[in-house]
Structure formats: C-alpha cells, structure tokens
Amino acid sequence: MPMTSGEIRKKFLEFFKARGHAVVVSSSLIPDDPSVLLTTAGMQQFKPYYSNPSAADADFGSRNTASAQKCFRTSDIDEVGDESHLTFFEMLGNFSFGGYFKKEAIRYAHEFLTKEMGIKISYVTIFEGKESIGVPKDEESRSIWQSLGVVDIREESMDDVFWGPTGLGGPCGPTTEIYCKNAAGQDIEVWNLVFNEFFFPGPRDDLLRGNAKLAELSQKGIDTGMGLERLAMISQNKKNIFETDLFAPLIQTIVIPRADKNTERAKRIIADHIRASAFLISDGVRPSNKGVGYILRRLMRRVLVYGAGDTSLLHRIGEQYGDFYPELRNNKENITNVAVEEYTKFSRAMKRGLDELEKSDRIDAKKAFQLYESYGLPYEVIKDFRQSIDVTREQFDKEFIKHQEISRAGAEKKFGGHGLILDTGELKAGTEEEVKIVTRLHTATHLLQAALRKVLGEEVHQMGSDITSERTRFDFSFPRKVTPAELKEVEGIVNDVLKKDYTVDRQVMSYEEAAKLGALHFFKEKYPKEVSVYTVRNKATGEVFSRELCGGPHVTHTDEIGEFKILKEESSSAGVRRIRATVG
Ligand code: SER
C-alpha cells in the first residue's frame, strides 16, 4: 500500500523532529512582509531569522525548524491543467539558522528520500558559479553528493539554482535540486535545497542586473522546499499530480454540465482553483478587483463559467484538509457565504458575457478588456472559451493597469459595467452618485486615522477598512476601548480640517521614498516599486496633516466632504478596535 499524502506529511515532520527540528505550523497565505503579495515559499515566515539566529532560540527553542507550508504562486496560473502546475500547493521544508549547513542538509534529504520513502534519485543539480557576483562553482555540494553514491550531477546557472532574495531584499544563495522519476518516466524536480550564505539588500532583479558582490551572512543558513503534491506523485507511482490521493477523489466528483467543455484539463483547473479558493478565503481574503482579492475573484469566476460553482466541492476541501489545517474547518461558514455571494453577483453578467464572447469575431486586447469590464470575464476565462484570441496575458494586463490608473485619477470613471462601478475591495459603490460619496468617505477615513494617532498615539495602525455609500468602517490596532471624550476630540480634529479646507494631492514615488516621508501604509498589502501617495496639507502653513500610500480615489479639497460624525466605537477582535462614521 503506498503512503497517503497525510502520512507523507506526517513522516516528513517526524523525521526532522527526531533530528532536533522544532515543527512550526504553516503561516498564513497572506504574509506579514508588505513587499510580497502572497506566501510563495516555506522560508518566508523565517526570513528574519537568517540575519538574527538567536531570535530562533527564543521563538522556537531551536535554530532548526521544519514545516508544511501553504503556498500560492500566481506565475503558474496559465499552466494549471497540465501534468504538474498548481496555484496553491503545500511545501514541506526544513530550515536552519546557523545550526547546520550543506553536509547535514544534503545528507538529511538523501536519507529521507532513499531510506524513509524508498525513492530513487534520478539526478541532482549544483550551481555552476558566477564571477560577477563573486560566487564560485559549488564543488562542496558535488563532493557531498558523490560521497553518498549519487553520480549524475549536473551544473546549472543562476536562473535555475540560485535562490532569492525575495521581496525587497534578504538572504540568498546557491541551491542544489533533486530530481526523481514519475510513473511516466519523466524527471521531476522534487526538492530544492538552498544554501543561504549571503545577504542582498535589494530585490532579485537588481542582483541579476548589477555586479553586486554579495555580503556573507555571519551564520550560514539552510532553506529547503519540497512540493508535497510532487512527492506524492513519485511515492504513489503516478503519472501526474492529479492522479494522487490529493486530487483523484475530488476530480471524480466534478461535474461539468456543458459536454463540449467536459475535458480532463478543465477538471484539473476546477480542482486546483476550488482548493486554492477555500484556502484563500479561510486566510481572510475576499473577492475584489484589487491585489489578492482580484486573484481570488478570478479563481472563483473560472470555476463558475465551467458550471462547477456548487459549494459541495468547497466542503470536500474542508473535510480533506481540516485535520491538518483547522482554519478550513473553522471557516466553513465563511467559505460557503463568500462563494454564494460571489457566484450570485457574477452569474447573470457571466451568461451575457459568454454570449457576447461567442458573437464576437475577433478578440484583441481592447475587446478582451471590455468583456472583463462589462461582464467581469477574466482573461483566462476568455482564453478557455475561445480557440484563438489576439491578445497575450501581458497585453491584457497592460490594458488593465491603464484602466486602473484612469479610474484612480477620476472617480467618475466606471470600473465595471454590470452595476459594479467601484469595487477596490476597500471601496464599494454601485452608481456614480455613490462613487462621489465613497470618495468623500475615503478621504475622511485618512483624516480619521491621522486624528486617532494624534489623540491615542502612534501605536494606532490601520488593520482594515470597508467603505460603502452608507458609512466608513475603520479597524485599527489599539488595546482598549476609546473613551467618549477621546472620540469627541478625534471628531473635533477631523471637523476642524474639513472647515479649514486642506488640499489633497497625489504623488507617485518609489516605495523607499514614501517610507522615508513617513507615509502610512496598511501592512497587509503589496506595493510595487512605484507607489501613489496622498497628502492632506494645510495650504496656509504647509503643515502635513496626513500622508498615506493609497490607490485613491480622493477629493481634492477637504471642504468637499461635509460634516464628519462618529457613529460607533467597538471591539473588532483582540487588540483591534472598530469605528463607524459618516459624512454629510
Ligand atoms: N525557498 C526555496 C523554494 O521555494 C526552497 O524552500 O524553492
């Protein structure tokens, strides 16, 4: 009997536990690091420990850890449906922050695969070296592999076998990858062992472009990652990941009503997207037109166009993974509600959109974007339903970004034609009139945050916000109830600004510049290199009242807003308070 994926996960963690590793639970799919949108690797939650190993002693009682981590890679979304690509996947990993290095890491991996799992290694890769960054060929790894009897050792370049840094900088170093054969005889990369010897203080692109000499970390680190789905495919002797116990039972229950769309590829896409949606929703993501919310929306809509939007598939995911990831079980109701709401919102527009798609003879970038704008059809749906289109993902994204810029510049511009005029995830408005109100409430929300910080101190940080034409709802970190006197003071400060008519202007600058200027930002967001910053200023004195990273839209003068009124203050969750307020 082959091992189940549940048994493999357990075996991996126990193997490393028995070898002095602290087993750490998966972190959220939404990372704390604001420079990355999603968790794409097991090492992300451990990033700070590579430069500060003693913190690991304090946090884990060990410098060595192991985990099964929830990961999501958007770069693979167009490949899903083939033999090995997924959006969401689980990564098994062992990590060391100055505890051990190459010899132990390679030996552990070899022992786990060949002895514990009984798998044969097909070949391994090592780093060929790169002079311009001062890193030589990895002869040490070669000789360790040789000492273990591995003979097929291939040299590869920076593109394949040099990890990191992720985000705006961090640890990085050469890697060695392990390949094994699946039942179809294909060599599959199963495990990646990273030797974090260096630290680079900028993004990976800068490292690749420049002639940067890397700084050595004072204590070298290990970061390994092995896809559970791929390991299960090899261990269960399957030809592709969808034949493993992680997917086969789920795929069997998928019913696609339209006979012409009932393909194996479509079923794989649905299985992947359903699983990913359940995990994203249980980590707090909600469908929207921005950031991670937009990714979730696309996954859910693609499932729906195939006619597989029945929530029983989502329930199956909860049952399959609930023991190991209790957040799925605990969020059962949230997951159903979010799905029903999104499916209901989209289904009518979708039907009209698919008709329109069928009628159009040529789909170029403009037409594709119009189908998205008017009916909410994401790019991949258009591609799935048409044999040939004249638009690449890059062209579509360009059109999308162009449009977002326009919609930020002027709140009057429509965002979506099926009643969704503005939905950024934070701001929601269904008519032009409502767009005007939420724009005023949006600027008022920035003023509210600045006033709260003046009255309660700088420990106040935005934890969330939701603005409808009825009210703004602002969540912020603060440990106790805000007193009525404090609320009066906050309200007074905001109204003072509204009466005096401060200016609101938008500037585009680098993230670093914005951070230097002290612009506030909501920490769970990804910011690109260029960010837009809104500043509220007293024109007479030049005093900056509020400055935040924000996509807008905002009013240009605070006297357009009207009177500000706090309706309610309450607890939102532990350490987080919630204020509702109106303007008018
Ligand atoms: N960080 C590396 C990867 O994601 C190894 O864990 O492949």
**Which of 224, 226, 229 should be mutated for ligand 1, with most atoms under 8 A from CB?**
224
DSSP assignment letter at 427: B
Q: Ligand 1 centroid to 148 CA: how many Å?
A: 23
pLDDT in tens, 426-464: 888 877 788 889 999 999 999 999 999 999 988 888 888
Long-range contacts of 282-287 (CB under 8 A, 24+ apart): 282/325, 282/327, 282/328, 282/330, 282/331, 282/334, 282/335, 283/28, 283/29, 283/30, 283/70, 283/327, 284/28, 284/30, 285/29, 285/30, 286/338, 286/425, 287/338, 287/342
Low-confidence residues of the chain, pLDDT below 70? 34-35, 211, 404-421, 522-529
Q: Which of 242, 294, 243, 312 is nearest to 271 (CA)?
A: 242
257 cis-preceded (ω within 30 degrees of 0): no
Q: How many residues does the chain have?
A: 584
- Domains of the chain, CATH where assigned: 5-239 (3.30.930.10), 247-406 (no CATH), 428-583 (3.30.980.10)
Q: Ligand 1 centroid to 77 CA: how many Å?
A: 19
3-class state of residue 282 by DSSP: helix
Residue 55, pLDDT score: 94
* Residues 238, 244 contacting (CB under 8 angstroms): yes
* Residues 266, 306 contacting (CB under 8 angstroms): yes
Residue 209, pLDDT score: 79
Please give the backbone phi and psi of residue 579, each rounded to the nearest 5 degrees, phi first. -120, 135
Q: What is the mean pLDDT of the chain?
A: 90
Q: pTM for the whole thing?
A: 0.72
Q: Ligand 1 centroid to 358 CA: how many Å?
A: 42
pLDDT in tens, 421-435: 677 778 888 777 888
CB within 8 Å of 369: residues ≥ 6 apart: 396, 399, 400, 403
Residue 111, pLDDT score: 98
Counting residues of the chain whose pLDDT is more than 90, the rounded percentage is 61
In the chain, the N- to C-terminal Cα span, in Å, equals 69
Q: How far apart are CA 544 and CA 253, in angstroms?
A: 58
pLDDT in tens, 32-47: 776 678 999 999 999 9
Please give the backbone phi and psi of residue 464, each rounded to the nearest 5 degrees, phi first. 170, 160
* Residues 363, 391 contacting (CB under 8 angstroms): yes
* Residues 406, 413 contacting (CB under 8 angstroms): yes
Pocket of ligand 1 (CB under 6 A): 41-43, 93, 163, 192, 194, 223-225
Residue 429, pLDDT score: 81
Closest approach atom of ligand 1 to CA 71: 4
Cα dihedral: 3, 4, 10, 16 (round 10): 40
Helices (H) and strands (E) in the chain, counts: 20, 18
pLDDT in tens, 54-78: 999 999 999 999 999 999 998 888 8
Residue 550, pLDDT score: 86
